[in-house]
Chains A and B, each alone.
Chain A
Amino acid sequence: MYKKMMKKQKNRNKELINVESVVIRFAGDSGDGIQLTGNRFANATAIIGNDLGTYPDYPAEIRAPAGTLAGVSAYQIQFSSKDIYTPGDKVDVLVVMNPAALKVHLSDLKPGGTIIANKSNFKSRNLKMAGWESDPLEDDTLSNYKVYDIEISRFVSSALKDMNLPSKTIERTKNMFALGLMYWIYTRPLEPTIEWLKVKFKSRPELVEGNIRALKAGYNFGDITEIFPASYQVGPAPLKKGTYRNITGNYAIGLGLLAASQKSGLPLFFGGYPITPASDILHQLSHYRNFGVKTFQAEDEIASIGSVIGAAFAGNLAVTASSGPGIALKGEALGLAVMTELPMVIVNVQRVGPSTGMPTKTEQADLFQALWGRNSESPMPVIAPISPGDCFYATYEACRIALKYMTPVFILSDALLANGSEPWLIPEIKQLSPIDVKFAVDPGEDSVFHPYERDKETLARKWAVPGTAGLEHRIGGLEKENITGNISYNPDNHQLMVNLRAQKVESIAREFPAMEIYGKDTGDLLVLGWGSTFGAIRAAVEKLRDEGMSVSHAQLRWVNPFPSDLGGILVKFQKILIPELNTGQLIKLIRSEFLIDAVGLNLSTGKPFTRSQIIEKIKSIM
């Protein structure tokens, strides 16, 4: 498909230059359709076989006043003909739709990098609003960059002028012009975007036509005008064989839940309450009625976890998703979930805090909340996916463990994974590990059902769902007597139950495969990360290993319990570096668990690590 599409576009007038990797950032007003533009570019890029990573960065305000710094929305993509792990550090090409976008993002552009600016929006009012004293496209502010200032608004209005569309509608197609131009510069096919526009605006043929015209106008502008001497080509990456799609972390979580529902044979119940950046999981699942998925938008975060506990009690695969503040509200109910030992999955798509913080920005500061954000001893397994695509597998695994061990399980995703995307090899459903669910069917030998009798190996209690004759029993938040599940204030029993609950969670480690170490399993430095920092760390360690440094990388997915081989791995390295997007949470666990004097690299900016930040830190301690 790719070859055919590219052939059509071979009748180019200019030179084609091969490059390995490129980082592009689209930036503009949050009403400019920047996220959509970025998504389309990522899609076209995925289809021609590049490896890629994306990083959408948008404001919490739905529409901040146009032209202001607060309203700038951006979408970054790195694409490459080799394996890559991140959306890239510094930007090669910055596409800005207005002066505010330039102001916010200029500092991330590489020296000598390219700026493509919509000159039509660089008017004195916009310049002033963005804090430019004079027009940077006219003065020497940008003398270190290649600047292409293009009257995009003028071009689209002439391309659409015979269509009788309102001028506002015409102005809205300027993102398609920019996208078309980028397609020409980086030789991407137009067809997937054209097809997508036809579906997106099915009922508004004039918008289909207008946007396609703008897209083609941008493409042809690159081809025909004298400004661009050449276009660039990034060849396909050596990805594993198979069928791919581009996927974001949130979407992968939704699919992972569906897969677990199908493999376990349990109906999926999702109780949620809208919260950034987790709401998309609710939106996605609400479409799956024909899969029997029950989504329930509750009145608040507490009600959503309450409904999930109820659905778990009644035998569904029960799941909720939220973000830090919402998880805080769910805390008491999560304690009930631990006490009643019911299987369920709780997704926390972490964002910046404390309190409302910066809701659209990324952080990893809820690890302690997941571990200890409940009263008393309330252990819960915690898994942290390491990439957007891994969100599928981590979710599936969380469901499997929850059902096998009769426990709530936390998934710690974050805004970076949630909205970021990567090419994803579509898995074979039949190759996923089986999820066998056995409900209790009869009370057992003495005809008295014991709800807190445990499986000897997993310590899981039986799942006895209402509707099963002979298994009538009562559970609740009061301490349970071991085996019978009756209320108990007995001191020794409480000690025993605290121990049993902890042991059960600890024993899950037996399910984990051996930890993968990238690089040698002994050496000067091990960089140990968890969750979404995988890409930046791997990219950094790969680069330094290429330079001959003795540095290795291991990434934790399960953060509670720790893999049982972790301690043995850590002692084989002279130094341990732990980068985290918080003020040092995993590092405290590692220090206290293994008495190892690890070094931290901690950042709380709302932005993910760049490769160079990690490289710099590694160099400084070696």
Chain B
Amino acid sequence: MAESITSKPLTRKDFISDQDVRWCPGCGDYSILAQVQKTFPDLGIPKEKIVFISGIGCSSRFPYYMKTFGFHTIHGRAPTIASGVKLANPDLSVWVITGDGDSLSIGGNHFIHLMRRNFDINMIMFNNEIYGLTKGQYSPTSELGKVTKSTPFGSLDRPFNPPLLALGAASTFVARSIDKRTHHLQDMLKRTHEHKGTSFLEIYQNCNIFNDGAFKNLTDREVKDDNVLVLENGKPMIFGSKKNKGIHLDGFKPEVVELNGKFSVNDLVVHEESDRNLGGILANFTHNEKFPTPIGVLYCEEKPTYEDLLYDQIESAKKRLGEGDLEALLHSGDTWVIK
């Protein structure tokens, strides 16, 4: 039985569960689900080894729609459950599905610790800059002054910059994509999977009910090329509808320059994914109107994973001390015999 399931090559259909998808019509989540279902057959992971773990929120319904193992947990805690799954069985491909409220507000603590521990876990954060499931309160990524149901006079707290937060928390892979850029999103999903270590993929996702058009300037045909910087490793940072703009570094200070004679392609920064400082500079473009919004892999560097280190400790302890002997342990220390 089991063999017949795994021996056929997987297709998109193999990942579609029998549950009706219940997001609002027009929601960006549909596209993300479609790209995941389209990409996963190519990842080469047996379906039974894939686990989707989510918290609470619109995005967190995701696992129900994937015909893999899935766990819809509680608000903000998906990283903690995912950590336990990975430690119990490092062989599994573990994916955390979360939103901006779930991961950065109620789950903020778990977010930073997940990043620094570097389990081989993939976190996909659907960032729509609003609370959807609770019907439209501002989120920790909403812009300052956001007028919502709970902030009729405008929100008072400055938003998180998720990639910068992930970098600050010692993440080893930080990437970003957009729900509407389907091919880019598919590429990023593959990169997210390929990275061994905790991968953080932020996806800008339009909530057409409570925050419609939040990413309009990044997705509308007429303006998107002037507002989005598509990062490619080893390539100069060029953007603009006419490919006529780029990022130039003056020391550590980035600036947007026009390629009009004074500056040429040779003056532009070449993207180096493993450069942590560069990752920080790029992350700082977020919410900064002077700069285009970077998408792609901002930073990627392999470091030992937590679970590898743990299992190494177990193996070396077994080598050093021998396989644990309970009988001997019970009788260790001071014992005495009553005859």
Q: Which residue of B lies closest to A426 (CB)?
A: B330
A49 close to chain B: CB less than 8 A: yes
The reply to whether B337 and A269 form a contact with Cβ atoms under 8 Å apart is no
Q: Which residue of B lies closest to A294 (CB)?
A: B87
The reply to whether A299 and B84 form a contact with Cβ atoms under 8 Å apart is no
The residues in A between 465 and 492 inclusive whose CB is less than 8 angstroms from any CB of B are 465-478, 486-487
Stretch at the interface among B66-74, B240-248, B275-283, B295-303: B66-74
A241 to B339, CA, bound (A): 5
A46 close to chain B: CB less than 8 A: yes
A427 close to chain B: CB less than 8 A: yes
**A467 CB contacts on chain B under 8 angstroms:** 48-49, 89, 91-92
A318 close to chain B: CB less than 8 A: yes
The residues in B between 299 and 320 inclusive whose CB is less than 8 angstroms from any CB of A are 310, 313-314, 317-318, 320
Q: Which residue of A lies closest to B70 (CB)?
A: A474
A340 to B171, CA, bound (A): 31
The reply to whether B89 and A315 form a contact with Cβ atoms under 8 Å apart is yes
**A47 CB contacts on chain B under 8 angstroms:** 334, 336
B264 close to chain A: CB less than 8 A: no
Q: Which residue of A lies closest to B84 (CB)?
A: A310
The residues in B between 13 and 67 inclusive whose CB is less than 8 angstroms from any CB of A are 17, 19, 46-51, 53, 56, 63-64, 66-67
Looking at the assembled complex, report how far the CB atom of A175 sits from the nearest CB atom of chain B, in whole angstroms.
19
**A310 CB contacts on chain B under 8 angstroms:** 53, 71, 80-88
The reply to whether B92 and A291 form a contact with Cβ atoms under 8 Å apart is no
Stretch at the interface among B1-9, B207-215, B250-258: B1-9
Q: Which residue of A lies closest to B92 (CB)?
A: A466
Stretch at the interface among A94-102, A127-135, A242-250, A574-582: A242-250
Q: Which of A2, A469, A477, A487 lies in contact with B336, CB distance below 8 A?
A: A2
A298 to B327, CA, bound (A): 30
Q: Which residue of B lies closest to A2 (CB)?
A: B336
**A471 CB contacts on chain B under 8 angstroms:** 48, 69
**A288 CB contacts on chain B under 8 angstroms:** 324
The residues in A between 258 and 273 inclusive whose CB is less than 8 angstroms from any CB of B are 258-259, 262, 267, 269, 271
The reply to whether A244 and B336 form a contact with Cβ atoms under 8 Å apart is yes
A218 to B314, CA, bound (A): 44
The residues in B between 106 and 144 inclusive whose CB is less than 8 angstroms from any CB of A are 109-110, 113
Chain A residues within 8 Å of chain B by Cβ, number: 79
The reply to whether B87 and A296 form a contact with Cβ atoms under 8 Å apart is yes
The reply to whether A426 and B324 form a contact with Cβ atoms under 8 Å apart is no
A204 close to chain B: CB less than 8 A: no
The reply to whether A290 and B92 form a contact with Cβ atoms under 8 Å apart is no
The reply to whether B334 and A258 form a contact with Cβ atoms under 8 Å apart is no
With A466-B51, A472-B47 as given contacts, are A292 and B335 in contact (CB-CB < 8 Å)?
Answer: no
The reply to whether B329 and A243 form a contact with Cβ atoms under 8 Å apart is no
A59 close to chain B: CB less than 8 A: no
Looking at the assembled complex, report how far the CB atom of B325 sits from the nearest CB atom of chain A, in whole angstroms.
9
Q: Which of A302, A318, A468 lies in contact with B84, CB distance below 8 A?
A: A318
B222 close to chain A: CB less than 8 A: no
The reply to whether B326 and A258 form a contact with Cβ atoms under 8 Å apart is yes
**B110 CB contacts on chain A under 8 angstroms:** 299, 302-303, 306
A246 to B333, CA, bound (A): 9
The reply to whether A243 and B335 form a contact with Cβ atoms under 8 Å apart is yes
Q: Which residue of A lies closest to B19 (CB)?
A: A486
With A47-B336, A288-B324 as given contacts, are A311 and B84 in contact (CB-CB < 8 Å)?
Answer: yes
**A236 CB contacts on chain B under 8 angstroms:** 338
The reply to whether A296 and B83 form a contact with Cβ atoms under 8 Å apart is yes
How many pairs of A and B residues are in contact by the CB < 8 Å rule? 225
**B327 CB contacts on chain A under 8 angstroms:** 429
The reply to whether B68 and A472 form a contact with Cβ atoms under 8 Å apart is yes
The reply to whether B314 and A292 form a contact with Cβ atoms under 8 Å apart is yes
**B271 CB contacts on chain A under 8 angstroms:** none
With A472-B68, A475-B70, A478-B72 as given contacts, are A314 and B88 in contact (CB-CB < 8 Å)?
Answer: yes
With A192-B334, A306-B84 as given contacts, are A289 and B313 in contact (CB-CB < 8 Å)?
Answer: yes
B289 close to chain A: CB less than 8 A: no
Q: Which residue of B lies closest to A269 (CB)?
A: B88
Interface mask (A445-480 → B, CB under 8 Å = 1, otherwise 0):
001000000000000000001111111111111100
**B329 CB contacts on chain A under 8 angstroms:** 255, 258
**A241 CB contacts on chain B under 8 angstroms:** 338-339
Main secondary structure of the interface of A (DSSP, over half): mixed
Looking at the assembled complex, report how far the CB atom of A215 sits from the nearest CB atom of chain B, in whole angstroms.
16
With A303-B110, A474-B69, A476-B71 as given contacts, are A298 and B80 in contact (CB-CB < 8 Å)?
Answer: yes
**B83 CB contacts on chain A under 8 angstroms:** 296, 298, 303, 306-307, 310
B196 close to chain A: CB less than 8 A: no
The reply to whether B85 and A259 form a contact with Cβ atoms under 8 Å apart is no
**A318 CB contacts on chain B under 8 angstroms:** 84, 88
Looking at the assembled complex, report how far the CB atom of A488 sits from the nearest CB atom of chain B, in whole angstroms.
12
The reply to whether B335 and A472 form a contact with Cβ atoms under 8 Å apart is no
Looking at the assembled complex, report how far the CB atom of B41 sits from the nearest CB atom of chain A, in whole angstroms.
15
Interface mask (A172-209 → B, CB under 8 Å = 1, otherwise 0):
00000000000000000000100000000000000000
A239 close to chain B: CB less than 8 A: yes
Looking at the assembled complex, report how far the CB atom of A247 sits from the nearest CB atom of chain B, in whole angstroms.
10
Looking at the assembled complex, report how far the CB atom of B327 sits from the nearest CB atom of chain A, in whole angstroms.
6
The reply to whether A49 and B72 form a contact with Cβ atoms under 8 Å apart is no
The reply to whether B335 and A426 form a contact with Cβ atoms under 8 Å apart is yes
The reply to whether A245 and B69 form a contact with Cβ atoms under 8 Å apart is no
Interface mask (A12-50 → B, CB under 8 Å = 1, otherwise 0):
000000000000000000000000000000010011110
The reply to whether B85 and A314 form a contact with Cβ atoms under 8 Å apart is yes
**B92 CB contacts on chain A under 8 angstroms:** 314, 466-467
Q: Which residue of B lies closest to A332 (CB)?
A: B74
A336 close to chain B: CB less than 8 A: yes
A426 to B72, CA, bound (A): 43
With A307-B84, A466-B51 as given contacts, are A473 and B73 in contact (CB-CB < 8 Å)?
Answer: no
**B77 CB contacts on chain A under 8 angstroms:** 302-303, 306, 333
A336 to B79, CA, bound (A): 15
The reply to whether A315 and B88 form a contact with Cβ atoms under 8 Å apart is yes
**B317 CB contacts on chain A under 8 angstroms:** 289-290
With A290-B314, A473-B69 as given contacts, are A309 and B334 in contact (CB-CB < 8 Å)?
Answer: no
A423 to B5, CA, bound (A): 56
With A466-B89, A467-B49 as given contacts, are A308 and B333 in contact (CB-CB < 8 Å)?
Answer: no
A391 to B171, CA, bound (A): 41
**A474 CB contacts on chain B under 8 angstroms:** 17, 19, 63-64, 66, 69-72
Looking at the assembled complex, report how far the CB atom of A240 sits from the nearest CB atom of chain B, in whole angstroms.
7
Q: Which residue of B lies closest to A240 (CB)?
A: B338
- Of all A-B residue pairs in the complex, the 5 with the closest CB atoms, nearest first, are A310-B84, A306-B80, A476-B72, A291-B324, A307-B84
Additional A-B contacts beyond A469-B47, A472-B67 (10; CB < 8 A)? A47-B334, A245-B330, A289-B313, A302-B77, A309-B73, A310-B84, A310-B87, A315-B89, A316-B88, A472-B69
Show 30 residue pairs from A and B whose CB-CB distance is below 8 angstroms, ordered by the A residue.
A241-B339, A242-B337, A244-B337, A269-B88, A289-B313, A289-B314, A290-B318, A290-B323, A292-B318, A302-B77, A303-B80, A303-B109, A305-B80, A309-B81, A310-B86, A310-B87, A310-B88, A312-B88, A314-B88, A336-B73, A340-B71, A465-B89, A466-B69, A466-B85, A469-B2, A470-B5, A472-B47, A474-B71, A474-B72, A476-B73
Q: List chain A positions with a Cβ less than 8 A from chain B.
A: 1-2, 43, 46-49, 192, 236, 239-246, 255, 258-259, 262, 267, 269, 271, 288-294, 296, 298-300, 302-316, 318, 332-333, 335-336, 340, 426-427, 429, 441-443, 447, 465-478, 486-487
Q: List chain B positions with a Cβ less than 8 A from chain A.
A: 1-3, 5-6, 17, 19, 46-51, 53, 56, 63-64, 66-74, 77, 79-89, 91-92, 109-110, 113, 310, 313-314, 317-318, 320-324, 326-327, 329-331, 333-339
